[in-house]
Amino acid sequence: MQFSSGIGGAPVLEGCAASFECFNRSRYDEGDHVIFVGEVERCTHRPGASPLLFHGGRFYTEHPL
């Protein structure tokens, strides 16, 4: 899989329907989970790409952005 370097140097996958690069605004420990709240610094999308949807236990890609 191809990738490029994001704002902070983290890898960003190429060819995705959309990507969001976020700054970690806060972190919350909840039971056996950790919840991160991010502030979006940059977002991109590929025009005409179909998103990957999950509903009713199945994946779908029929709906364009």
Write down all domains in the chain, each with its CATH number in brackets.
3-60 (2.30.110.10)
- Cα–Cα distance measured from residue 65 to residue 45, given in angstroms and rounded to the nearest whole number: 9
The tens digit of pLDDT for each residue in 9-63 reads 989 999 888 999 999 999 999 999 999 999 999 999 988 888 888 888 988 887 6
The tens digit of pLDDT for each residue in 25-37 reads 999 999 999 999 9
At position 13, the amino acid (one-letter code) is L
- Cα–Cα distance measured from residue 44 to residue 15, given in angstroms and rounded to the nearest whole number: 11
Q: Does the predicted TM-score (pTM) go above 0.75?
A: no
Cα(first)–Cα(last) distance of the chain, in Å?
22
Cα 24-28-43 angle, rounded to 5 deg: 30
